Structure 1
Amino acid sequence: MAVSGLVINIGTRGSPLALAQAELTKAGLLAAHAELRPENVTIVPIKTTGDQVQDRTLSEIGGKGLFTKEIEEALIDGRIDLAVHSMKDMPTFLPAGLVIAAMLEREDPRDVLISPVADSIANLPQGAVVGTASLRRQAQLLALRPDLKVQPLRGNVGTRLDKLARGEAAATLLALAGLKRLGRADAATAILSTDDFLPAVAQGAIGLEIRANDPRVAALVAPLDHPLTTIAVTAERAMLAVLDGSCRTPIAAHAEVFGTQLRLRGLVALPDGTESHFAEDSGNATLEGAAALGRALGEKLKALAGPNFLA
């Protein structure tokens, strides 16, 4: 398609990681469309409520949508043409008229431990303070080490690392994907295996959200879609939808494609780590198979947990 002269406005959060993800998207667009000029693609930083409120956890101030609301309003209003999101920040259901049109290839979904005092979770000092605002990380951490003390630690990656350096916590947990995209993977003390520590739903995946009735932008982003990432994330988000997950419920998931098969593992837990329920299953590695597998695993976890667990 001819795109010469088009202006493409990419909306994203203003954090260093979000801007890096927007730059990846811009580079992908320019590589996919030789007629598109760099000066025609503008990145528009948008401050979200989630970015502005840093002294409370997401569960206290309203959940994941606080990182997307203002950006999606700009998309609906036509101020931007597409929005770049960390898929793990996306609410289970999108606003009417918006769709995820493509996902970039997923980066490593694992979590990492960062600590100046220990080389593993097992070797953290007795009763050490670990900073994290994620209930999912808190639940899995306390299940492994109930003696640890968890305190909220929010902010962008650089802010969290600075707080750790000042001794505000003995350790923190971050996504390896974000560190890699910022060129800070060397900050990781230990990479946590998904066999021991399941990541957040869609962790490491970048989604491109557009207006559903915008075929022009849909055609532009189509070459950027990574089908295997879309299949895996579809399964994880379908599981999340069944569980009606929010930031108040620790939920973890990881889907992997092996040839024509898709394996999905899921976990729901209490925030204090005293109880958790795990399930896994396999299905066809297609979009339809992924959605069906996610729904089935969500129902299995819901049955295992019982009616009051996810209330």
Structure 2
Amino acid sequence: MQTSLIKIGTRGSALALAQARETRSRLMAAHNLNEDEFEIVVIKTSGDRIQDRPLAEVGGKGLFTKEIEEALLDGSIDLAVHSSKDMPTVLPDGLEISTFLPREDARDAFLSPKANAPQDLPEGAVVGSSSLRRQAQLKRLRPDLEVVMYRGNLDTRIRKVSEGVVDATLLAHAGLRRLKLDEHVTSVLDTDVFLPAVGQGAICIESRVDDTRMLQLLAPIHCAMTAARLTLERAFLFEMDGSCRTPIAGLSEVDGNTIRFKGEVIKPDGSQTHRIEREGPVANAKAIGHEAGKALKAIAGPDFLES
């Protein structure tokens, strides 16, 4: 019997709130709980406050998690719901990613009234993206495109395309699907050309390592397949020293007892790419990720990453 509200911490964007509500719904179904036994606590993060410049200039990924993690550590919230691709590879002492929900489509979506795919855009077209990875991949494919920094929530980015502020944009297909905005998608992009960000499409739940009550509550909604995929991808990113400053991509897929992985690192101007592929038993996901990251880092060399 619950004696107090289960407090779920989240950012305040429409997508973040949808992910928190999905977590709440899964917990309600798993434990026969009512909605009034939960409280969704909105926490504004540094990443939400900074809208006028690329996040890479001011600290990268942790900007979307720091304040939420502080609330988790001081007991203001019981659980934190995040987009996995926002999570740093090293977490604060006392916290862990304990749960992954089933992963949505990890691919990027292309939105444009002027072309069916980036390859078909008019010469010199303007494409908006805040992601260094997507910017690098676009420049690799089409060096003639003008790629501009483009932030804001999904509704804002979609509106800017429809108003002609930019000719096109790329967004995570998962986020558009979760917000029922996928009618705006022109096409979904092949991962051979637009390999997604590590963790894209996956919701993760962070909790305190010693909070037995919450860990027991979360156990029934944990997706082991998503956990294996993200364990590999995050191990890869850890070895690559990945941050918002480096265009790094990676995606794993599970087929039976086998896990397959593709990873790449790209020059920000798209002029050079190094790729790696690995596969092995699902049980070895973490080791495969670490080995893939070390191997790709060695192939690319320190000058590539530092530049």
TM-score of the pair, normalised by structure 1: 0.97
State the identity as a percent.
56
CA distance in 1, matches of 2:113, 2:68: 36
Q: Look up the SS of the partner of 2:305 in the other structure.
A: coil
Unaligned runs of at least 5 residues, structure 2: none
Out of 160, 170, 177, the residue aligned to residue 157 of structure 2 is 160
Out of 12, 15, 29, the residue aligned to residue 17 of structure 1 is 15
Q: Does 1:219 align with 2:216?
A: yes
CA distance in 1, matches of 2:161, 2:182: 16
Amino acid at match of 2:211: D
State the match for 1:81 in structure 2.
Answer: 78
Q: Look up the SS of the partner of 1:310 in the other structure.
A: helix
Out of 60, 64, 67, the residue aligned to residue 64 of structure 2 is 67
Out of 104, 108, 115, the residue aligned to residue 112 of structure 2 is 115
- For the 8 Å contact 1:4–1:37, the answer to whether it is kept is no
RMSD (Å), alpha carbons: 0.8
Q: Does 1:244 align with 2:216?
A: no
Q: Which whole-Å deviations, capped at 9, do the CAs of 1:113-165 have from their partners, x for residues lacking one?
A: 10111111111010111000101001111111011011000011001111222
Out of 239, 244, 251, the residue aligned to residue 254 of structure 1 is 251
CA distance in 2, matches of 1:208, 1:196: 30
CA distance in 2, matches of 1:53, 1:302: 31
Q: Which whole-Å deviations, capped at 9, do the CAs of 1:154-182 have from their partners, x for residues lacking one?
A: 01100111122222211000000000000
Amino acid at match of 2:297: K
Q: Which whole-Å deviations, capped at 9, do the CAs of 1:187-220 have from their partners, x for residues lacking one?
A: 1111001122100000000000001110000110
State the match for 2:29 in structure 1.
Answer: 31
Would you identify which runs of 4 or more consecutive aligned residues in structure 1 move more than 2 Å? 3-6
Amino acid at match of 2:226: T
Amino acid at match of 1:7: L
Q: CA deviation at 1:303?
A: 1.3
Amino acid at match of 1:309: F
CA distance in 2, matches of 1:210, 1:90: 13
CA distance in 1, matches of 2:11, 2:76: 14
State the match for 2:303 in structure 1.
Answer: 308
State the match for 1:190 in structure 2.
Answer: 187
Amino acid at match of 2:290: R
